[in-house]
Chains A and B, each alone.
Chain A
Amino acid sequence: MIPLVCPAPIHHRDTILLGHGSGGKLSAELLREVFLPAFANPVLARLEDQASLEIGGARLAFTTDSFVVKPLFFRGGDIGSLAVHGTINDLAVGGAIPEFLSAAFILEEGFPMADLQRIAVSMSLAATKAGVTIVTGDTKVVEHGSGDGVYINTAGIGRLRDGVRLSASFARPGDAVILSGSVGDHGIAILSQREGLELESDIASDSAALHTLVDVMFAAAGANAIRCMRDPTRGGVASTLNEIAEQSAVGIEIDECAISIHSAVRGACELLGLDPLYVANEGKLIAAVAPECAQALVAAMRCHPLGADAAVMGRVTAAHPGMVTMRTLFGTSRIVDMLAGDQLPRIC
């Protein structure tokens, strides 16, 4: 009875798939095979969330990000505040003090003016609160059916702190890995409000500007104790840890007990068959830091509202470079892998 039956592998990638935007392995493949060869230069090759530049003696950080979130308005924020926070955070985790943003809009014909007004006001409020200024922008309109209401791109520029050099390639064995708070809030807030899911929950996105939390961290630990920071957005904490492990050629061991997950997020993930470690965050950061400074850093972070649940979630090791492992609640150990594309809800 035992005929061997297998599907033929599908190797060619002749079209863009949704997974290419997931922040997982397909995204990395796109970068490696298309963009890095095309734009080859040493700044880009560092693969940070922001470019570190020196212009006329000034050290600057420069970054850009596009926002295609659906629904546009969600509990805890909207596409406008998200576009401001996201770019601020990419600057902040590079050790920079965010100063100026650009904002570009791709609007779909027929998009309600009132919604655009609401988004613009939200961006303005978010920028003012964060102390950054939106100084340039652009608007394009595409035909009805060619867009999804509104897409926003923001770019940002900030001054790098004196003496601060952060890189996802700087983590070294022995370093402590700090997580600034609970995981999965943004992704689950978005998912639970998408059409058709009808999850009753009060989960709000954690969308927030992290630069003042970063200020607190540098004030507590000085310029050299922090090796690298990343904000675990799409792809979640697991993908970010894998990026650091790979770029630093180190192993990372995390402790399941040390990861904070709101019970509503946990419940939604259970229901949908998702792992919160892969769900997006928009107001959290991960830092690899010198072990002797870890406790002081966590204590300082906990005094900031965005770091109230900060904790050491693991440590950097020399063992199994490029791999993230987790000590489970049961004391066993398992791999925490990078996903190929988006997490897919399981059948049962």
Chain B
Amino acid sequence: MKYLDEYRDAGVAKGIAQAIRARVTQPWVLMEICGGQTHTIMRYGLDEMLPPEIELVHGPGCPVCVAPLEIIDKALAIAARPGVIFVSYGDMLRVPGSHSDLFRVKAAGGDVRIAYSPMDAVKLARENPSRQVVFFGIGFETTAPANAMSVWQARREGLKNFSLLAAHVLVPPAMRAILASPVNRVQGLIAPGHVCTVVGTREYEDLSRDFHLPIVIGGFEPVDLLEAIRMLAVQLEEGRAEVENQYARSVSREGNLPAQTILQQVYEVSDQKWRGIGAIPMSGYKLRPEFAEYDAELVYGTEEISAQEPQECISALVLQGLKKPVDCAAFGSLCTPERPLGAPMVSSEGVCAAYYAYRRRVPEAVA
């Protein structure tokens, strides 16, 4: 399959791993930001191919995991209302709110549907004029343009029964918060290729300069990630701190300009809570006032819902790369994908879930 097979080639991967081994002379701590990248590392066992000097820690880039508890509670409240068709990406359905999740709301009679695109929700609104359709707009800069497009399209069509429950998060402010922490260990960053496909690489140039940090924009296939690690290792060994683009087949410096235009038209940057990290100023998107009638929070009056987030697991430390999932006493025993205690165990993209699925006990080498 073109664009896949060549980036999953075992021979190429082993060659890059060898080049990394030949280049590193001292320990380096690298962070991949995106949950999709974490997933690939675990699924292909890339960390096993690396020399012991390279330590990978896993960043906060799983949108499901960092969605704050209160937005889940708001979603549950709206989805339970009669007359509402609540449309969501699939992996949000299992995420626990304070007392329930969307699967349970569905089991109790709520009309909760899985969609692959927010435009499917707009289509539902068009086809069901007597129902209210709400799309759960979660995600980083990657999904934000499509979600913005749904609102823009609904307004263009004059739909009065569509709204968006938006909780978008932005990568650079979160990375700034992590890098500025006095306990930060991260020395090199694999930036999220799909986020950069949308927004370009300029913000990462600022990040690299401000923290004197090597950054490589990385893809999501195993060869992409190994190559990004190699590029970081070379920068670190040479004492450089620059932004390099490994994922050039998708990412340009300017990014996707039409997508950026729709983002600016529909959203404004706002403060945002992150599950596992806390409130970060100017780290999210919310709908602009001129789109208020499409803002599900305003339509359904859920602004007042807030959630008390209990302090039971070490997800904050995991999402900042300070701890590994296996360092948690609850990991794999009290906390499993069936009964998640913490956000990173919920989504298959979450770092704890990735460790649980692929690595909860290090298997002996297969003969």
A residues adjacent to B (C-beta < 8 A):
1-11, 15-19, 25-26, 196-197, 253, 255, 263, 266-267, 270, 272, 319-320, 323, 325-335, 337, 339-341, 343-348
A148 to B300, alpha carbons, bound, how many Å?
A: 31
CA distance A47 to B287 in the complex (A): 53
**Interface of chain A, main secondary structure:** loop
Judge whether A7 and B366 touch: CB under 8 Å.
Answer: no
Which chain B residue lies CB-closest to A4? B311
Contacts of B143 on A, CB cut-off 8 Å?
347-348
Complexed CA–CA distance, A198 and B310 (Å): 42
User: Are B94 and A341 in touch, CB under 8 angstroms?
Assistant: yes
Contacts A333-B45, A333-B365, A347-B143 given; indicate if A8 touches B314 (C-beta within 8 A): no
Q: Which residues of B contact A9 (CB under 8 A)?
A: 96, 335, 339-341
- Cα distance, A26 to B107, chains bound together (Å): 15
Question: Which residue of A332, A345, A346 is within 8 Å of B44 (Cβ)?
Answer: A332
Cα separation A1 to B276 with both chains bound (whole Å): 11
Contact A18-B106, Cβ < 8 Å, known A263-B1, A323-B361, A334-B358? yes
Q: Which 6 A-B pairs have the closest CB atoms?
A: A332-B45, A327-B366, A344-B90, A345-B90, A5-B309, A334-B358
Does chain A have a CB within 8 A of B244?
Answer: no
17 contacts between A and B (CB under 8 A): A1-B278, A3-B311, A5-B69, A6-B312, A7-B96, A7-B309, A9-B339, A16-B107, A253-B367, A255-B366, A266-B4, A320-B363, A332-B44, A337-B356, A341-B94, A346-B36, A347-B92
Is there an interface contact between A7 and B69, defined as CB atoms closer than 8 Å? Answer: yes
User: Which residues from A are CB-within-8-Å of B342?
Assistant: 6-7
**Beta-carbon nearest neighbor of B139 in chain A:** A347
CA distance A330 to B309 in the complex (A): 41
Interfacial chain A residues near B25, Cβ < 8 Å: none
Smallest Cβ-Cβ distance to A342: which chain B residue: B90
Q: How far is the CA of A314 from the CA of B143 in the complex (A)?
A: 39
With A4-B311, A333-B366 already in contact, the answer to whether A344 and B320 are too (CB < 8 A) is no
Chain B interface size band reads 35 or more
Q: How far is the CB of B8 from chain A (nearest CB, A)?
A: 6
Given contacts A2-B181, A2-B277, contact A8 B98 (CB under 8 A): yes
Residues in B128-148 with C-beta less than 8 Å from chain A? 138-140, 142-143
- Identity of the chain B residue whose Cβ is nearest the Cβ of A332 in the assembled complex: B45
A208 to B300, CA, bound (A): 50
Q: Are B315 and A330 in contact (CB under 8 A)?
A: no
Taking the closest CB of chain A, its distance from the CB of B20, in whole angstroms, is 14
CB of B357 within 8 A of CB of A347, answer: no
Flag the segment in B152-160, B205-213, B235-243, B343-351 that touches A.
Answer: B343-351
Residue from A16, A25, A270, A326 in contact with B338 in the complex, judged by beta carbons closer than 8 Å: A25
B262 close to chain A: CB less than 8 A: no
Chain A residues with CB under 8 Å of B222's CB are: 330
Contact assessment for A6 and B309 in the assembled complex, using a CB-CB cutoff below 8 Å: yes
User: Contact check: which of A8, A263, A344 meets B94 at CB < 8 Å?
Assistant: A344
Cα distance A325–B278 in the bound complex, in angstroms: 37
User: What are the interface flags for B247-276 relative to A under an 8 Å C-beta threshold, 1 for contact and 0 otherwise?
Assistant: 000000000000000000000000000011
* Chain B residues packing against A (C-beta within 8 Å): 1, 4, 8, 10, 13-14, 36, 42-46, 48-49, 63-64, 68-69, 72, 89-101, 103-104, 106-108, 114-116, 120, 123, 138-140, 142-143, 177, 181, 194, 222, 275-278, 280, 309-317, 320, 335-343, 346-349, 356-361, 363-367
CA distance A7 to B347 in the complex (A): 13
Known: A320-B361, A334-B45, A340-B338. A6 touches B356 (CB 8 A): no
Known: A8-B98, A8-B310, A17-B104. A3 touches B316 (CB 8 A): yes
Contact yes or no, A253 B366, CB < 8 A: yes
Contact between B116 and A325, CB atoms less than 8 A apart? no
B106 touches A6 (CB 8 A): no
A2 to B340, CA, bound (A): 21
Q: Which residues of A contact B346 (CB under 8 A)?
A: 7
Q: Which of A6, A319, A327, A334 makes the CB contact (< 8 A) with B311?
A: A6
Shortest distance in angstroms between A343's beta carbon and chain B's nearest beta carbon? Answer: 8
Note all chain A residues with C-beta closer than 8 A to B68: 5
Instruction: Specify which of A4, A197, A270, A333 is in contact with B314 (CB 8 Å cutoff).
Output: A4
Identify the interface centre among A10, A17, A266, A325: most chain B CB within 10 Å of its CB.
Answer: A10
CB-CB under 8 A from B104, the residues of chain A are 10, 15, 17
Also in contact, A340 and B93, with CB within 8 A (given A2-B277, A2-B316):
no
Min CB distance A199 to B, Å, is 10
Contact B107 A2 (CB under 8 A): no
CA–CA, A332 and B123, complex, Å: 44
**Chain A residue with Cβ nearest B183:** A2
Tell me which of A11, A19, A328 has the highest count of chain B C-beta atoms within 10 A of its own C-beta: A328
Q: How far is the CA of A4 from the CA of B139 in the complex (A)?
A: 21
Question: Which chain B residues border A19 with CB–CB below 8 Å?
Answer: 103
B89's contact among A337, A339, A347, by CB below 8 Å, is which?
A: A347
User: In the complex, A17 Cα to B105 Cα: how many Å?
Assistant: 10
Query: Which chain A positions have C-beta within 8 A of B36?
Result: 346, 348
Distance of B324 from chain A, by nearest CB (Å): 16
Assess the B10–A329 pair: CB atoms within 8 A: yes
B357 touches A333 (CB 8 A): no
Q: Is the CB–CB distance between B316 and A329 below 8 Å?
A: no
Contact residues in B for A7 (Cβ distance below 8 Å): 69, 72, 95-98, 275, 309-310, 340-343, 346
Determine which of B48, B91, B315, B358 lies in contact with A347 in the assembled complex, contact meaning CB atoms within 8 Å: B91
Partner of B320, one of A2, A26, A325, A334: A2
A8-B98, A329-B44 known; 17 other A-B pairs, CB under 8 Å? A2-B181, A4-B316, A5-B316, A6-B309, A6-B311, A196-B116, A196-B123, A263-B1, A270-B4, A330-B222, A331-B10, A334-B45, A339-B337, A340-B337, A345-B90, A346-B349, A348-B142
Q: Smallest CB-CB separation from B337: which chain A residue?
A: A340
**Chain A: CB-nearest residue to B95:** A7
How long is the Cα–Cα vector from A253 to B366 in the complex, in angstroms?
A: 7
Taking CB atoms, residues of chain B closer than 8 Å to A16 are: 107
Say yes or no: A348 contacts B309, CB within 8 Å: no
Q: A333-B363, A346-B347 are in contact. Are A10 and B91 (CB under 8 A)?
A: no
How many Å from the CB of A141 to the closest CB on chain B? 23
Contact yes or no, B363 A323, CB < 8 A: yes
The reply to whether A4 and B315 form a contact with Cβ atoms under 8 Å apart is: yes
CB nearest neighbor in B for A196: B120
Does A10 contact B357, Cβ atoms closer than 8 Å?
no
Among A8, A25, A339, find the residue whose CB has the most chain B CB atoms closer than 10 A.
Answer: A8
